[in-house]
């Protein structure tokens, strides 16, 4: 049994371009996993091994690597920063015990950092903060720590201070040991000296030491009281124990600084991962749930002598075959064992198990609680499925994924491509739970749905390059919805008489707008048995089945409440089918009367722009029907937050770059639905009618 206290399962996450992948590369180099460092800007990094990643210089899928530092085993997951791929961050956080949040020294806390930080808070993941790129122009460590407090509402515990800034950044002061680590200009991580603190920083270092000790000791009240009363001077070991406890309880976040690209400050960060981030047994065990997803009160205890329980958190198809990435929560799994997928109820035999070192892999014969590894060639497993021992089935808390907000129609360029496209898309849907595919029943078109333009753009690119399927792509479509605005009372009778037994069902009902996000709710207040109870489920089913296509333009209907209060039945001719048909007819009859309305997805948009272009950017957002919520000035520019309809945001990155001479950035995520203005609704409905007429 391996010593679990020597395991660290960590993720590296941040905004686009804050330097996550470079940080991962440096960790691999320092731990001896790779000998040549690959740079992201040359398209050669170890963890970005998809062609699309190398070309665009962004990370698209999370990659897992295993390495060792100070006799500790680190499982590191490099996650994407781009908002369209947040699902990768979300599912990685689900299986990690700790994380490193990387912030750019000049960009600071950027929009996507907030989303990732929020996910990490929800998953209760302990984190270190690494302020990277301190060699960049405009880098300011102290400003970024202030932003962490103000924007993220988190408490940074400053552990290192930068020596020099921008071009003159040479090293860091370790606040706890009160020593300076200074690197030479060779760019080699091992070429550093430990020196005394530079004279001009002695006072700062002492002040930060005081602050560090007081904050850390909050994790141990007795020690804090003794310290404040002057009775005791805590030892370095006591302070470290307090920092570890406080970090694991999310009281504060140890904050480090450096430059991953220039190899400065990385060893201290790795030491901190080992010293302060939790091992698998320090973290609250995963709750088990029943089939409905409700907690059962039991937990998957992180022990090797417990039954086998694991979560499949990622599916990846590469040149070696289908890989299922798995985090083991309890028990042991040996090669050749048969395990149960509690979601499908099917068993599978485990053939090959591998440990990932980015692109390379090492064959394993057994794994145990705390491990992250991949199984080769599993058949019916999808992201979020629980794998467990056949004798003791269980379900781990499932993952919840956001719904796609944008869709495009695609068709293969040649006839032979259709089958190839079907197989390829099937594999891609298994890999990415936020990527959905539907076939339009009327036109036979294949509709791809995703989280944003970039998301779908990359999926089409993968289909073309990885699977050799050339596609004709239609223009993006917005996921509009319909709802109602008024409460009405109505009645509907369904009767049909033709040889043999007839059909009869009469219902009196009220339809009214439901609470936001309530979907469809049905209740019955019938008294006196005018409609027998056994027909209620059929009536509910009839109404519910109609919610998929509204009466205005055939979009799904949201937030409707139906109350059945009276009706009538026939002793012979009434049946469940008759009442279901009555409910369907009632829906078609009443929804137009209840003030049917088209609603559109509104995106939370976060734009960063240099100061001299603020007016243009705000004017442009207003033209796009945007509501400006907030703007805040930073050192290198202004951040503007706005709510903007998705339909107005297509191609926005092009306009933003033109307006800001290429210096603007933005991110957006789905926020809520709002009613469409009348002129927009008329255009959308007319377009749908025209499309349907062509079919």
Per-residue CA distances from 576 to 286, 504, 582, 638 (Å) = 43, 10, 10, 61
CATH assignment, 4-171+252-276? 3.40.50.300
- Structure confidence by residue, pLDDT tens digits, 280-311: 888 877 777 776 667 777 777 778 788 888 88
Q: Residue 20's pLDDT is what? A: 58
Average pLDDT, the chain: 82
Q: E strands of 133-252, at which residues?
A: 156-158, 160-163, 171-174, 179-183, 192-195
Q: For residue 327, which phi and psi values (nearest 5 degrees)?
A: -110, 125
Chain-centre distance of CA 217, in angstroms?
A: 34
Is the predicted pLDDT of residue 52 greater than 50, yes or no? no
Residue ranges of domains in the chain: 4-171+252-276, 286-396, 406-479, 485-595, 599-680
d(CA 684, CA 663): 34
Q: Residue 572's pLDDT is what? A: 83
Query: Is there a contact between 174 and 136 (Cβ–Cβ < 8 Å)?
Result: no
d(CA 445, CA 439): 6
d(CA 559, CA 537): 19
The widest CA-to-CA distance across the chain, in whole angstroms, is: 103
Confidence of residue 50 (pLDDT cuts 50, 70, 90): very low
Query: Is there a contact between 311 and 373 (Cβ–Cβ < 8 Å)?
Result: no
- Structure confidence by residue, pLDDT tens digits, 446-493: 888 887 777 788 788 888 877 888 888 887 778 889 999 999 999 999
**Architecture category of domain 406-479 in CATH:** 2-Layer Sandwich (3.30)
Listed in sequence order, the residues at least 6 apart from 302 whose beta carbon sits closer than 8 Å to its beta carbon are 4, 280, 281, 283, 285, 329, 330, 369, 370
How is 376-415 classified by DSSP, letter by letter?
ES-SS--TT-EEEESSS--EEPPP--PPP-EEEEEEESST
Q: Residue 655's pLDDT is what? A: 86
Residue 477: both structure tokens together: 């479509």
Other CB atoms within a 10 A radius of the CB of residue 488 amount to: 14
Confidence of residue 584 (pLDDT cuts 50, 70, 90): very high
Instruction: Kindly report the CATH class assigned to 286-396.
Output: mainly beta
Q: Residue 208's pLDDT is what? A: 94
Query: Is there a contact between 413 and 470 (Cβ–Cβ < 8 Å)?
Result: yes
Pick from 243, 184, 185: nearest CA to 209:
243
d(CA 280, CA 623): 51
Instruction: Kindly report the CATH class assigned to 485-595.
Output: alpha beta
The kind and range of the H/E element at 658 are helix 652-659
Mean pLDDT for the stretch of residues 230-253 = 90
Most confident of 62-71, 308-317, 355-364: 308-317
Residue 125: both structure tokens together: 């993941």
Mean pLDDT for the stretch of residues 80-92 = 59
Is the predicted pLDDT of residue 542 greater than 80, yes or no? yes
d(CA 176, CA 98): 22
Q: ∠14-16-19 over CA atoms, to 5°?
A: 65
Q: Residue 15's pLDDT is what? A: 60
Listed in sequence order, the residues at least 6 apart from 620 whose beta carbon sits closer than 8 Å to its beta carbon are 655, 656, 659
406-479 and 485-595 in the same fold = no
- Structure confidence by residue, pLDDT tens digits, 501-541: 788 999 999 999 988 878 899 999 988 778 888 999 999 99
Listed in sequence order, the residues at least 6 apart from 241 whose beta carbon sits closer than 8 Å to its beta carbon are 220
Instruction: Kindly report the CATH class assigned to 599-680.
Output: alpha beta
Range in 9-23, 391-405, 479-493, 588-602 with the lowest mean pLDDT: 9-23
Query: Is there a contact between 165 and 249 (Cβ–Cβ < 8 Å)?
Result: no
Cut 0.95: pTM above it: no
- Structure confidence by residue, pLDDT tens digits, 385-408: 888 888 888 888 766 676 777 788
Q: What percent of the chain has pLDDT over 70?
A: 86
């Amino acid at each position: 049994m391996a010593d679990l206290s020597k395991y660290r399962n960590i993720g590296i996450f941040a905004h686009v371009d804050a330097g996550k992948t470079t940080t991962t590369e440096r960790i691999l180099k320092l731990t001896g996993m790779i000998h040549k460092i690959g740079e992201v800007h040359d398209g050669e990094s170890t963890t970005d091994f998809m062609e699309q990643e190398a070309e665009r210089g962004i990370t698209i899928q999370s990659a897992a690597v295993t390495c060792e530092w100070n006799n500790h085993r680190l499982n590191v997951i490099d996650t994407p920063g781009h908002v369209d791929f947040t699902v990768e961050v979300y599912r990685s956080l689900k299986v990690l015990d700790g994380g490193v949040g990387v912030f750019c020294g000049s960009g600071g806390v950027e929009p996507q950092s907030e989303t990732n930080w929020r996910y990490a808070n929800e998953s209760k993941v302990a984190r270190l903060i690494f302020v990277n790129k301190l060699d960049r122009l405009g880098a300011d460590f102290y400003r970024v720590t202030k932003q962490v407090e103000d924007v993220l509402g988190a408490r940074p515990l400053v552990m290192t201070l930068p020596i020099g800034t921008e071009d003159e950044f040479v090293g860091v002061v370790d606040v706890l040991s009160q020593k300076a680590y200074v690197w030479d200009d060779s760019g080699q991580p091992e070429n550093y000296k430990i020196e005394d603190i530079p004279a001009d920083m002695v006072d700062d270092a002492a002040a930060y030491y005081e602050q560090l000790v007081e904050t850390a000791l909050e994790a141990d009240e007795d020690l804090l009281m003794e310290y404040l009363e002057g009775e005791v001077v805590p030892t370095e070991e006591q302070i470290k124990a307090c920092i570890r406890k406080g970090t694991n309880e999310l009281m504060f976040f140890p904050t480090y600084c450096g430059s991953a690209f220039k190899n400065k400050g990385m060893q201290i960060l790795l030491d901190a991962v080992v010293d302060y981030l939790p091992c698998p047994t320090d973290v609250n065990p995963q709750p088990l749930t029943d089939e409905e997803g409700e907690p059962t009160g039991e937990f998957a205890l992180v022990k090797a002598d417990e039954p086998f329980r694991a979560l499949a958190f990622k599916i990846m198809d590469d040149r070696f075959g289908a890989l299922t990435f798995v985090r083991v929560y309890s028990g042991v799994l040996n090669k050749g064992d048969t395990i149960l997928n509690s979601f499908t109820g099917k068993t599978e035999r485990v053939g090959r198990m591998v440990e990932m070192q980015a692109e390379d892999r090492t064959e394993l014969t057994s794994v145990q609680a705390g491990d992250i590894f991949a199984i080769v060639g599993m058949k019916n497993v999808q992201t979020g499925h629980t794998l467990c021992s056949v004798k003791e089935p269980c379900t781990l808390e499932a993952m919840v994924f956001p719904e796609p907000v944008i869709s495009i129609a695609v068709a293969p360029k040649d006839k032979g491509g259709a089958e190839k496209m079907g197989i390829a898309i099937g594999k891609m849907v298994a890999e990415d739970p936020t990527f959905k595919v539907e076939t339009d029943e009327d036109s036979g078109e294949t509709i791809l749905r995703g989280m944003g333009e970039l998301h779908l753009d990359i999926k089409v690119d993968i289909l073309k390059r990885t699977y050799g399927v050339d596609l004709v792509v239609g223009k993006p479509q917005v996921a509009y919805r319909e709802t109602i605005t008024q409460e009405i009372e109505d009645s509907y009778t369904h009767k049909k008489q033709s040889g043999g037994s007839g059909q009869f069902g009469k219902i009196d009902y009220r339809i009214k707008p439901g609470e936001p996000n309530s979907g469809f709710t049905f209740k019955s207040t019938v008294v006196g048995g005018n409609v027998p109870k056994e027909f209620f489920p059929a009536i509910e089913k009839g109404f519910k089945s109609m919610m998929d296509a509204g009466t205005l333009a055939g979009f799904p209907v949201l937030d409707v409440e139906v109350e059945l209060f009276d009706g009538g039945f026939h002793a012979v001719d009434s049946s469940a089918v008759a009442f279901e048909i009555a409910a369907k007819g009632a829906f078609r009859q009443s929804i137009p009367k209840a003030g049917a309305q088209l609603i559109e997805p509104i995106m939370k948009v976060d734009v960063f722009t240099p100061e001299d272009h603020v007016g243009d950017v705000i004017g442009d957002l207003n033209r796009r029907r945007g509501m400006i919520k907030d703007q805040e000035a930073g050192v290198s520019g202004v951040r503007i937050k706005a709510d903007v309809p998705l339909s107005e945001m297509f191609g926005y990155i092009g306009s933003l770059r033109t307006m800001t001479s290429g210096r603007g950035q933005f991110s957006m995520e789905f926020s809520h639905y709002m009613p469409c203005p009348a002129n927009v609704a008329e255009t959308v409905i007319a377009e749908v009618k025209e499309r349907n007429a062509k079919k």
